[in-house]
Each structure stands twice: as C-alpha cells, then as structure tokens.
Amino acid sequence: MPQLFEVIHAAGHKPFDLQIERLIAVLRVALTTFCLAAFYMAPRGHPIPIQDMAFATPILAAYTTFGIVVALLPTLGKIRTGWQLPVHIIDIGMISLLMYFLEELSSTFFILYTFILLGATVRWNWRGALWTTLFLLVLQTALFVALGGATGFLIQYAFLIVVGGMFAFFGASRERSRDRLTELAAWPSSVAPTSADADNQRLDVSLNHIATVLQVPRVLVLWEIAQEPYWFVALFANGKCRQERLPANAFGHLVAEELSNTTFASEEIDSRTCITSAGTETSKDLIVNASLQTQYKITSVCTAPFSGGICNGRVFMLDRPDWSEDDLTLTEVVASRLCIELEHHALCVRLEATAASRERIRLARDLHDGVLQSLTAVGLQLKTLASRADEKFQRMIEAVRKLLLGEQQRIRMFVDGRQISSALLPMELFSELRREIEEISRHWGCEVQLSVMPQDTKVAPELGRQLEFILAEASANAVQHGQASRIDAAIEATSEQIRLRIVDNGRGLNGTTCAYNQNELAELGIGPRSLRKRITELNGSLYLSSSPSGVELRIALPRDDHVAHAFEAYQPEETTRAIG
C-alpha cells in the first residue's frame, strides 16, 4: 500500500510541459463552453427533462469556471506541478456525472472520454492511457448497472478499449523515442588520444553505444579524410569492431546520386524504394552501391550522410527488420556526432604531426650546429693523425674515418630533409636493404646474408626505413650480446604483411633454450627492449626463440604505409642512437 501511494504521489507531482497543459486547458474550456451554448440553444420540446437541464447547467458552468482557473494556474501562480492528477480525476468525475444525469445525451458526453485519454497520454505516456482506460471501464460498468443495462454501453466499452489501446501505443512510442534520445545523448566521453589503439578503442565504444541505443545488429561507417586517397571503414558486429582502409575507387558512389545528401531507410534495398523525411522515394538506380551491398551483405538499411571540414562519409544502420521516421532522425543525430568525433581525431593526428615536424626541425638544427661540427673536427684530426702513422695504422684510421663520413652523410640527409622529399616514391626493398646490410657488416665485422621474396618487392619509404632500423638493431644485439659472427635475414612480403626472420649463430639468451611472444617478453622485461617497442608502435608482432646455438626473431608488420608515420617523432632519437 505505501508503494501505491508513492506511485500516485509521483504521478501527481510529475513536471509537465507548459505548452501541452495549456492546450489541454484551452480544449477543456472550449468543450464546456460549447456544451453550455448547446443547452441554451436547445429548442422547446427537447427530449431532456427540464429538471435535468436545470441540474446539468450549473454543473457545466462550474466546470467551465474550473477550466478557466486551470488554464490560468500555470501562468498566474507559476505552479508547474502537484495538481495534474487531481485535475485529471475531476475531469473524469465531471463527465461521468453528466453522463449519469443526462442519460439521453450519455453517448454525446461519452465522446469527451477521448479528451480525458488524450490528457492522460501526454502527461504520463502509455501508463496514463492504460490506467485511465481501465478506470473508465470500471466506471462504465458502474453506470451500466445504475442505469439498468442500456445496450449502448456495449458499444461504449468497445470504443474505450480501441481508443485506449491506440493512446497507450502512442504513449509507448513517445516514451521510447524520448528514452532513446536520452540514451543517445549519454555519448561515451572522449579522451585525448595517446596511441592508434586508443583511437580505435574509442571508435569501438561509440559504435557499440550506437548499436545498443538504436537496437541494430550491425553499424557500418565509411568516411574520407581530405587529401587521403582512401575510404576508412569501421564495421561493428557481434560486439566487435573491425577497421580497415580501402582504395578511394573501391565503391564509387556509396548510394544513388539523387540520395547522396539524403537520410533514408529501406527494409528491402533491392526494391529501390526507400522512406525519407519527405515521404517515400523510388530511385532509378540501386539505392546502395552494389559492391558495398555484396561486401557487407546489406539487405535492410537506415543511412545518413555527414560532412565536416576534414571528414565526410556515411553511417549505415544494418539488419533491422523495420524502420520508422524516428529512426531517420536518430540516424541523423548519430551521423552528426560521429562526424564531430572523426574530425576531432583527424585534427589530433594533424596536431601531433605538426608537433613532430617542429621537433624534427629543432633536432635537425641542433644536429647541424653540434654533432655535425664535432664529427667534422674528429675527421680532420683523424686525417692529420693518419699522415703521421705507418701504413698499417693509416688503413685502420681511414676505415674509421669512412664510418664517420658515412654517419655525417646520413645526418646531413636528415638535416636537409632529403628523406622527407622522397617520401612519396616507392622503395625497392632488396636494393635499399642490401646497402644497409653492407654497412652493418662493415660496422660490426660480421657476415650478414639477406633474402627478399619476391625480390622486386616495393614498399612505402617510411616502412622501408623502419625495416632498416629493425635489421640494424637486431644485428647490433646479436653481435654485442650474443657474440654472433653470422646473421641470416629473410623477408617475405604478402599483400597485407611484411614478415622478417632474423637468425644468428650467437650464444642465445643466457645459453638456454626458450621461446617467448611479444607480451611475454614485455612482462618478463627481457629481450630486445628497443626493438620490441618499435614493433609495438608499428602494430606488429614479435616472436623470439633462443638456444645455445643462437637467437631467432620472427617479426610481422602490417603492410600499411600509414602505420609507419606514427614514427615520425621517434625517428630523430634512433638517428642519434645510431651515431652514438
């Protein structure tokens, strides 16, 4: 019982929409005023007895006055809560009283129950419509007994059930739309990106939120970034998000050209008919690109475009059996919010690139004014020293001087930006790495063999540079820590990966036989830390096996040239390390 009183109290003190309450109040006054006018204009001989008219007229007059007070109450008294339920009960009581005393006009006043159901629905949604309908049915039963069981009451029962059911459905739909908007507004909070993985996870969380709120099995997002020749794709399905990048010409137009700027939905996209906010439209072409349909198995869709200063694309809600106009609106909201998120990410990436570029310029200046000048001085001193030494020492000093000159040239290339200027040209992997292998052999005095399959493999320059550094680091570790005299490096290129196998004949890790994956190496704090960090930043994988006869490294890197750009800011550190 206490819980029942709490529910009733909450219903009576529910905050309301002033415009809706004002509309109900105006309708109440209009209804009662017209009823009074009808009584006064009724001709003589009207079937309603005089005594009934005399009784009903003051009731209607009082009800009209009550309606005027209620209409003015929110405005004059600023009372916005606490009286909706009492007013609702008075409405029911007054109309039922009129039906009882004016039996001849009961069917006329019965229509006013529709007004009561409307008020209950807009105030308390489906609960108001349902409970009011049940209460009116009970009240009708009482009137049926009191008035002797008129047959018209059966028709009124049916009317109440039908109208009450319609209002309950309307209230449920209204409440569901409000709840979905509220849930959608509770968008997962964005955090500053710290890595590519963090950005991917943030998008995963957003798409999961969208799928949950809109109750769709799958969410597909395709977008372009200015000056990037790709389609970026994210597909959320079965609780997981898969992201990929496709060429710009993979699909052409995502949807029919006449629908390119339109939000639309279709339960059967092969029918070429869709619903929009303006009504039903039929396209002369497929409403969704045929390649897109096939690749992602699209049959039912609700989609909206988005466009910003940097990003533009479309979001597709997939696999729902039916769509409504509310879904069109919510999908537009989702598209707008996703656009903001993707724009934010793109701007963060550009800011990071700008910061890395500024750091590169500063480091280049420091290298030019510091390290290069020092190396030049050391080279001159070695040249002077060689002129005073015998032939044997001259050869040794000359070898050291050539190493210094090679490092000077490498630093000068970095300072002059030659590597950056050639960043758009593909690198022939075997010829470039062969030169690196020769330098490694001269540096460390060991034999290094290289094989590349297929031998004519070409990769993006930035990825090629990272492979050079990986070979250099692995060789340095093998000679310094494993006392290796021979290193065999094999590279296999596929359409999606670059796989490296580096084997040395050193003494292994502590002379024991063991094998570790990338996570195990990180947890134990063993193995090549710098190499492991580099591979992790490149979204690659590392596997190390060791025995008393040497170490074998298996490395897999995604063949995706944008991954290597994450190392723009890291590169100067590695250049300095190589010099040292």
151 lies in a domain?
A: yes
Task: Give me the phi and psi of 218, to 5 degrees please.
Answer: -140, 150
273 lies in a domain?
A: yes
CATH number for the domain harbouring residue 564? 3.30.565.10
pLDDT for res 419: 47
pLDDT for res 572: 36
174 and 49 in a common domain: yes
204 and 323 in a common domain: yes
462 lies in a domain?
A: yes
**Number of structural domains found in the chain:** 3
Helix (H, G, I), strand (E, B) or coil at 78: coil
Other Cβ atoms closer than 10 A to 106: 19
Task: Give me the phi and psi of 88, to 5 degrees please.
Answer: -60, -40
Reference 282, options 308, 315, 306, 258; nearest CA is 258
17 and 147 in a common domain: yes
Q: Are strands 273-276 and 230-237 parallel, antiparallel or unpaired?
A: unpaired
Sheet containing 311-318, strands listed edge to edge, beginning at the edge strand earlier in sequence: 240-247, 230-237, 218-225, 311-318, 301-307, 264-266, 273-276, 279-282
pLDDT for res 60: 77
Other Cβ atoms closer than 10 A to 458: 15
Helix (H, G, I), strand (E, B) or coil at 11: helix
What whole-number distance in Å separates Cα of residue 277 and Cα of residue 271? 19
Residue 5 in tokens: 């009183």
For residues 192 and 343, is the Cβ–Cβ distance under 8 A? no
User: What is the per-residue DSSP string for 329-379?
Assistant: HHHHHHHHHHHHHHHHHHHHHHHHHHHHHHHHHHHHHHIIIIIHHHHHHHH
338 and 247 in a common domain: yes
Could you list the residue range(s) of the whole structural domain that residue 216 is in?
196-351
Distance of CA 323 to the CA centre of its chain: 21
Q: How many CA atoms lie within 13 A of 366 on its CB side?
A: 10
251 and 279 in a common domain: yes
Query: Where do we find the tokens 């930035």?
Result: 462
Report the b/e string of 460-488 with b at 16+ CB within 10 A.
bbbbbbbbbbbbbbbbbbbbeebebeebb
Helix (H, G, I), strand (E, B) or coil at 308: coil
245 and 167 in a common domain: no
Distance of CA 573 to the CA centre of its chain: 35
85 and 119 in a common domain: yes
365 lies in a domain?
A: no
pLDDT for res 27: 80
Reference 289, options 314, 311, 324, 320; nearest CA is 314
pLDDT for res 196: 46
Listed residues 351, 371, 390: the one ending a domain: 351
Listed residues 123, 152, 185: the one ending a domain: 185
Residue 318 in tokens: 């997939």
Other Cβ atoms closer than 10 A to 187: 18
Residue 317 in tokens: 């809600």
Residues of the chain with pLDDT under 70: 1-18, 39-55, 73-83, 100-109, 147-154, 189-200, 367-370, 372-373, 407, 410, 412-425, 511, 560-580
Instruction: Give the helix ranges, DSSP H, for 77-151.
Output: 84-101, 106-110, 112-146
Residue 240 in tokens: 């997981």
Listed residues 351, 380, 408: the one ending a domain: 351
Cis peptide before 454 (omega within 30 of 0): yes
Sequence-separated (6 or more) residues with CB below 8 Å from residue 184? 209, 210, 213, 214, 330, 333, 334
534 and 431 in a common domain: yes
Radius of gyration of the chain (CA): 40
What whole-number distance in Å separates Cα of residue 43 and Cα of residue 355? 90
81 and 8 in a common domain: yes
What whole-number distance in Å separates Cα of residue 415 and Cα of residue 397? 27
Reference 311, options 373, 226, 241; nearest CA is 226
413 lies in a domain?
A: no
Residues 64-73: contacts with CB under 8 Å, at least 24 apart: 64/29, 64/32, 64/33, 64/36, 66/90, 66/94, 67/25, 67/28, 67/29, 67/32, 68/29, 70/25, 70/28, 71/22, 71/25, 71/26, 71/28, 71/29
Residue type present at position 348? C
Distance of CA 2 to the CA centre of its chain: 45
46 lies in a domain?
A: yes
Helices 152-185 and 196-214 meet at what angle, rounded to 10?
A: 180
Element (H, E) at 242: strand 240-247
DSSP annotation of 552: E
Residue type present at position 403? L
109 and 213 in a common domain: no
340 and 209 in a common domain: yes
223 and 179 in a common domain: no
